Amino acid sequence: MKEMLLIHASGGPVRFPEIRRSVYTKDFSCGFYCTTNKNQAERWARRNETPTLNYYSYTENPKLKILKFDEITEEWLDFIAKCRNGEIHDYDIVEGPMADDKIWLSVSDFLDGLISREAF
């Protein structure tokens, strides 16, 4: 089984990861967001008063329901749109690109009907 190091950016130590629902909808809905990219985690952590990187070892588990996006596709766009509109999915893990500031503007325009799927 494949093992990987995951990093969670926060404002302090997180010993026991948990999923918290919030009023803000996120790219992949509710969840405990992690990355394997340390630079990305450092950028996320700087949003907090006390930037903290939390490290976790994850061993692949074939019993989990996983959705993976290797790149930004129409399927990815549809999934992000549903999640950002508050829909909840039943995946244990969703892996893939996040809508950074530049991409998010296009996703937002698509959700608002300002640009077509083709334009996106």
Q: Which of 9-18, 23-32, 52-61, 80-89 has the lowest average pLDDT?
A: 23-32
How far, in Å, CA of 17 to CA of 91, rounded? 17
> What average pLDDT does range 5-18 have in this prediction?
94
How far, in Å, CA of 34 to CA of 69, rounded? 15
Whether residue 117 is contained in a domain is answered as no
Whether residue 120 is contained in a domain is answered as no
pLDDT at 101: 67
Residue 26 has pLDDT above 90, yes or no: no
Phi and psi for 72 in degrees, rounded to 5? -75, 115
Whether residue 119 is contained in a domain is answered as no
23 in Cβ contact with 14 (< 8 Å): no
pLDDT at 24: 64
Task: Dump pLDDT digits (tens) for 65-115.
Answer: 999 999 999 999 999 889 988 888 999 999 999 877 677 788 788 888 888
Task: Dump pLDDT digits (tens) for 37-49.
Answer: 999 999 999 999 9
Residue 68, classed as helix, strand or coil, is strand
Residue numbers of the domain that contains 96:
3-111
Whether residue 42 is contained in a domain is answered as yes
Whether residue 102 is contained in a domain is answered as yes
CA 32, chain centre distance (Å): 8
Phi and psi for 83 in degrees, rounded to 5? -65, -45
Whether residue 116 is contained in a domain is answered as no
Whether residue 118 is contained in a domain is answered as no
Residue 68's DSSP bridge partners are 95
Residue 23 has pLDDT above 70, yes or no: no
Whether residue 20 is contained in a domain is answered as yes
How far, in Å, CA of 56 to CA of 5, rounded? 6
What is the number of structural domains in the chain? Answer: 1
The H or E element spanning position 81 is helix 74-84
